[in-house]
Amino acid sequence: MTASVRSTRNLLTIGRGLAINAARLPNKMAVSSKIQALTYSELDDAANRLANLLASQGASRGQNIGLMVGNSIEHVIALYACARLGAAAVVIDPKWVEREVANALEQFDCGLFVVDEALCAADVVAKARVGIATIRLNSADPRALNKLLGGFPDTQPDSGVEDDDIFVIMLTSGTTGQPKGCLSSHRVYSHSVSIGAMGMPVREHAKELIVVPIYLNSGRSSLISQLYVGATVYLRDRFDPAEALELIESERITCLALAPPQCVALLQHPDLERRDTSSLEMLRKAGLPFALRTVREIIERVTPNLYQGYGGTEFSAGAQLYPQEQLTKLGAAGRALPGVEIDIVDDERIPLSPGEQGEIRVRSASICLGYFNNPEQSDATFEDGWYYSGDLGKIDQDGYLYVTGRKKDMVKTGGINVSPREIENVFLAFPEVEDVAVIGVPDDKWGEALKALVVLADGERLTYEDIVERCDAVLTRYKIPKTVDFVASIPRNALGKITADFIASIVEPGRG
């Protein structure tokens, strides 16, 4: 006799996760901003109403819908509204200008756009493509949302959404070139949420303050993870260290993710020692790793509950370094999470032995399904279930991953490949240095020469000769930058990556 197997379709849709919590926790606060808050029941109703509004404008299952909304409750509602329809949310940075938006509209075939008038996004979209259907939200006026949605039913639209439908097209946060659109289905994203939360204090009692952008996957995954388990999310559209410290103390915030520049600002704020941060069960790095000295300061002055790891838009969470390992495995990204395979391969994609440096590849059920309308890049990046990251790293004898740089970021000077990250870590150990970026610049003699851009801490002084003397003891000669520019600041994006425009303004032919 053959046992019958029940269908599991629809069980892993993102919208269903919200509906479950709306039924079991209807009156619990789900999400709060500076100007409004919604319970799980209210959030569920608003998502249904907006989904029905989108449907009235022709949106349907399988369509791509552009979202150009900041860190607001309106953004959360829009994400779940798209999920309810089975439409793919194409989430765009609300700071993008007309040219960038026009390219995204063409590249990702968005037939409808949801924009935030408070961010002037509506004007940018209108200029980028005349006549595109646009739903205008206004995060500055909560009454506008009620007025807009009031005439639409709060029942879930009958869209037939399945867990294999695309939930979100995640744009890569590269600093140059056209963004790639990573395709993540409801099933894949639900799995990535589960894996990412594994071993971290993401549970029903949690209160997370989200100050990193939810239009990038680091912030969005935090948001969806907490709402999936029935926790409460506090959203802010920008990071203010004084406000963050006040909220941590007054609301007993348990979870916080910060990009490296945000964490430095928190550590430098004069209110830090006067505020109670003991409620923090997790302070997680978002984007690039924390500098080694920042790790020690966080543990000593903010919370011992520090989490770092290795993740990316294409594969979500891969490895995790837990609080008790931060100092014993200083500089590591952690070990692979359960259900995740990570190894190191050479240029022929052959696995390497422990301690050998090569390209990091990842395999898990959280790997995205490829890039939207980009089969060539998909074939080059995804093979046999593996994602080839382009990151350089090594794994030690204990199974801990160390990320050492980017293949494409390597500077080839005098025919030798050098990792800028290795040099940056050396510079960041100097007490006078607040921030640094190492780049390659054209050079007649070396092909490329290393240039360091250095931000000194207030009142500090350092010369190029000082730097060379200190580097001599810890770096091979060819790794010591040929030139150093002392700059007031290094512009970075929301995840701490140096901006392409700034690099372009610095790069010039070397003097040899």
Model confidence pLDDT, tens digit, residues 182-203: 999 999 999 998 887 777 888 9
The contacts of residue 501 (CB under 8 Å, 6+ apart) are 491
CA nearest to 458, candidates 437, 432, 484, 487: 432
Residue range 169-185, pLDDT digits in tens: 998 754 335 678 999 99
Annotated domain spans of the chain: 409-506
Task: Tell me the sheet residues that pair with 210.
Answer: 235, 257
Q: Give the pLDDT confidence score for residue 69 in this predicted structure.
A: 93
Crossing angle, helix 40-56 and helix 14-24, to 10 degrees? 140
Q: Are 86 and 159 in contact (CB under 8 A)?
A: yes
Q: Give the pLDDT confidence score for residue 441 in this predicted structure.
A: 87
Lowest pLDDT segment from 48-62, 166-180, 264-278, 427-441? 166-180
Rounded to the nearest integer, the mean pLDDT of the chain is 89
- pLDDT (mean) for 304-311: 95
Q: List, in sequence order, every beta strand (DSSP E) within 77-225.
A: 88-91, 112-116, 133-137, 166-171, 181-185, 207-210
Share of the chain above pLDDT 70, in %: 94
Q: Give the pLDDT confidence score for residue 3 in this predicted structure.
A: 52
Q: Give the pLDDT confidence score for residue 267 in this predicted structure.
A: 96
Rounded Cα gap, residues 109 and 106, in angstroms: 5
- pLDDT of residue 1 exceeding 50, the answer is no
- Give φ, ψ of 391 to 5 degrees: -85, 145
Q: 432 or 507: which carries more pLDDT confidence?
A: 432
CA distances in angstroms from 195 to 69, 79, 314, 329, 482, listed in the order given: 27, 21, 14, 22, 43
Tokens read off for 450 = 């290393």
pLDDT bracket for residue 415 (50, 70, 90): low
Most confident of 4-18, 138-152, 228-242: 228-242
Give the up-direction half-sphere exposure of residue 2: CA atoms within 13 A in the CB hemisphere: 3
- pLDDT of residue 165 exceeding 90, the answer is yes
334: left (phi over 0), alpha (psi -120 to 50) or beta: left
Beta strands at 166-171 and 207-210: parallel, antiparallel or unpaired: unpaired
* Helix, strand, coil content of the chain in percent (nearest 5): 30, 25, 40
127: left (phi over 0), alpha (psi -120 to 50) or beta: alpha
Q: Are 66 and 87 in contact (CB under 8 A)?
A: no
Residue range 453-467, pLDDT digits in tens: 999 999 999 999 999
- pLDDT (mean) for 204-232: 94
- pLDDT of residue 512 exceeding 60, the answer is no
Q: Which residue has the tokens 């100092």?
A: 327
Rounded Cα gap, residues 100 and 327, in angstroms: 42
Give the domain 409-506 fold. GMP Synthetase; Chain A, domain 3 (3.30.300)
